[in-house]
Amino acid sequence: MDKLQLSEFNNLTKSLNLNIYKVCYARNAHGQYINYIDESFNALRLTRILEEITKIVGATILNIAQQNYAPQGASVTMMVADGMSPTNSGLLLQEPSLLPETLVAHLDKSHITVHTYPENHPAEGIQCFRIDLDVSTCGKIPPLRALNFIIENFRPDVALMDYRIRGFTRTVQGTKLFSDHEISSITDSIPLSTLEQYQCSDVTIPQENTFLTKIILKDIDLTDHIFAPSSEKLEAGEEQQIIHNVREEMREIFFGKSGPIKQI
Q: Which of 30, 75, 106, 115 is catalytic?
A: 115
In the set 85, 110, 136, 189, the catalytic residue is 110
Of 113, 111, 112, 20, the closest CA to residue 74 belongs to 113
**Residue 24 among the catalytic residues:** no
Taking the C-alpha atoms of residue 39 and residue 144, their distance in angstroms, rounded to an integer, is 27
Type of residue numbered 160: L
Q: Which of 6, 1, 11 is nearest to 140 (CA)?
A: 11
Rounded distance, CA 145 to CA 137, Å? 12
Among residues 89, 136, 138, 189, the one annotated as catalytic is 138
Q: In the annotation, is 138 catalytic?
A: yes
- Is 110 designated active site? yes
Q: What span, in angstroms and rounded, lies between the C-alpha atoms of 30 and 94?
A: 51
Enumerate the active-site residues.
Answer: 110, 115, 138
